[in-house]
Amino acid sequence: MAITTLSSREFNQDTGRAKVAARSGPVFITDRGRPGHVLLTFEDYQRLTGQDNIVDLLGLPAGVEDAELEAPRPRDLAQPADLS
């Protein structure tokens, strides 16, 4: 596993390089020379946290296996234009 360190400036100028580096291991992003953030692939994040499904990621209570999420349909949000 390779560890890469980038300054905030380097990260901002070349995020593609940081994403490629994250495939080989964590990327430490420094702010004024001090570690501030760590970039990981999503797979590494899941492995480290043990969260591998959407229920875990949403922080739903233990025992909730099938969560039904309802999003309003766009046409339900539309309002008629007031042309007066």
- Tens digits of residue pLDDT in 1-14: 888 999 999 999 99
pLDDT in tens, 24-44: 999 999 999 999 999 999 889
The two three-digit tokens of residue 17, written as one number: 């390089």
Domains in the chain: ranges and CATH: 4-59 (3.40.1620.10)
Give the single-character DSSP code of 61. P
With a threshold of 0.85, does the pTM exceed it?
no
- Taking the C-alpha atoms of residue 47 and residue 33, their distance in angstroms, rounded to an integer, is 28
How high is the pLDDT of residue 49? 81
Out of 3-7, 47-51, 80-84, give the one with best mean pLDDT.
Answer: 3-7
